[in-house]
Amino acid sequence: MKNNITLDHGSGGLLTSRLIEQEIVSRFQNPSLNELKDAAVLEHFDQDIVFSTDSFVVDPWKFPGGDIGKLAVCGTVNDICMAGGLPRYLSCSLILEEGFPVADLQTILNSMKESAQQADVSIVTGDTKVIEHQKGHQIWINTAGIGTKIKDLDYKYQEGDAVILSGSMARHGASVFMAREDIQLEGNLTSDCALLIDQARIAFSFSGLRILRDPTRGGVATTCLELIEHSSWGMELDEKKLPIDSDVQTLCDLLGFDPLYLACEGRMLAIIDQHQADALCSALGPQASIIGKITKEHPQKLTLKTKIGATRMLRKLSGQPLPRIC
């Protein structure tokens, strides 16, 4: 194998075959993939199917706590879980920039393999394309996933339903920003990038569970707004109860970012009957907390009860956050 990806790796010829056999099939080993057909043939499902896709363009591809490979598996697996499914199969499409080091690709594929094994999903089909140098950005990945539906989830809220977040917020957004801008701060700020299968399974066992979401782009505030904007309900978050790690808070204070709008990649937001909220929190572990509630007042609006007891509106993220001057 050459040291860097060349246009020949995407030509469909000899180098393409070698890349697929040596780097992909040998790693992801499973009967459907090994057949190397144009499409994977999957066993018949008894249950409804949950189907999702996501593209990953994170820059830089490697960040503290993960890389684009881990993200590409976790992202799609988590989307399936949040829709009430348990993931079974993934596809993996790679778009590589000419000149991308093969060693880096191997690192990324190893991360995908590790996360797929943890999630007990098979990567059964895929594609590889190479684009000319400087017409892409190192590596982009698309994954699609198929799962089987375990739980019916719907926007059928009731007044007082609790909003639960499974862990501290904004770690992924903060750590990727640190890596992207090469911020020379010491510390141990890592992404929260992780699979949410275990948390979802726990949540599925609660009869009062209304809905699940993972607060990725736009952060907790944007996700909460999406959860109510088409309903006839409002939501109130309690600033005192928002779980933010001190390293993330410090970085946000320094740069002028609002952690409510920074992405998580391994956190679950659950809306659940208030009477089952404490039990779900306990089952999810000490990191989980009740951060807000569904309200009859101010339908389709999200408010924040601030630490001084005032109330203000929360809107969707607008524009990219840029660090402030002073």
Partner 1 sequence: MRFSKPKRPITLMEICGTHTMAIAKSGIKNVLPKEVKLISGPGCPVCVTPSSAIDMILELSKDPHLLICSYGDLLRIPGSQSETLRARPNVRLCLSPMDAIQIAQNNPDKIILFIGVGFETTAPGSAVLIQEARRSQLKNFYFYSLLKRTQPAICALLEKEKTQIDGFLCPGHVAVIIGEKGFEFLPCRYHRPGVISGFEPEDILVSIEALIQMINQEDPKILNTYDRLVQQEGNTIAQAQIEDVFEVEDSLWRGLGTLPDSGYRLKEKYQDFDARQHFHLPGLENKEPENCQCAAILCGEKAPSQCPLFQTVCTPQDPVGPCMVSSEGACAAAYTYEE
Q: Which stretch binds partner 1 (CB under 8 A): 105-113, 119-127, 150-158, 308-316?
A: 308-316
Residues 74/193, Cβ–Cβ less than 8 Å: yes
- With CB under 8 A as the contact rule, the residue among 256, 275, 282, 299 that binds partner 1 is 256
Among 4-12, 186-194, 198-206, 300-308, the segment contacting partner 1 (CB under 8 A): 300-308
Shortest Å, Cβ 97 to partner 1:
17
Does 318 participate in binding partner 1 (rule CB under 8 A)? yes
Least Cβ distance, residue 240 to partner 1 (angstroms): 12
* Residue 300 contacts partner 1 per CB under 8 A: no
Distances (CA, A) of 38 to 46, 112, 123: 25, 21, 14
**Quick check: bond before 60 cis, omega within 30?**
yes
In whole angstroms, the minimum distance from the beta carbon of 312 to partner 1 comes to 4
Question: At closest approach, how far in Å is the CB of 305 from partner 1?
Answer: 9
From the CB of 119, what's the least distance to partner 1, in Å?
36
Query: Rule CB under 8 A: is residue 312 a binding residue for partner 1?
Result: yes
Q: Does 308 bind partner 1 (CB under 8 A)?
A: yes
Which of 28/177 has CB closer to partner 1? 177
What is the spatial distance between Cα 71 and Cα 62, in angstroms, rounded to a whole number?
10
How far apart are CB 326 and partner 1 at their closest, in Å?
A: 5
| 309 is an interface residue for partner 1 by CB under 8 A | yes
Nearer of residues 264 and 304 to partner 1, judged by Cβ: 304
Contact track, partner 1, 178-217, x by CB under 8 A: ---x-x----------------------------------
Please say which residue, 46 or 182, places its beta carbon nearer to partner 1.
182
Please identify, using beta-carbon distances, which residue of 181 and 278 lies nearer to partner 1: 181
Q: How far is the CB of 234 from partner 1 (least distance, A)?
A: 13
Q: Which one, 244 or 280, has the nearer CB to partner 1?
A: 244
Report the nearest approach of partner 1 to the CB of residue 192 (Å): 23
Q: Count CB atoms within 10 A of the CB of residue 232.
A: 10
Kindly determine how many residues on this chain lie close enough to bind partner 1 according to the rule CB under 8 A.
Answer: 23
Phi, psi of 171 (to 5 degrees): -65, -40
Q: Which residues, including other chains, have CB under 8 Å from residue 117's CB and lie 6 or more apart? A: none
Q: Is 44 in the site for partner 1 (CB under 8 A)?
A: no
Residue 247: how many other CB atoms lie within 10 Å: 18
Among 255, 274, 283, 287, binds partner 1 (CB under 8 A): 255
Structure tokens at 27: 């790693």
Q: CA 263, CA 65: separation in Å to the nearest integer? A: 14
Residues that bind partner 1 in the complex, under the rule CB under 8 A? 181, 183, 255-256, 258, 304, 306-313, 315, 318-319, 321-326
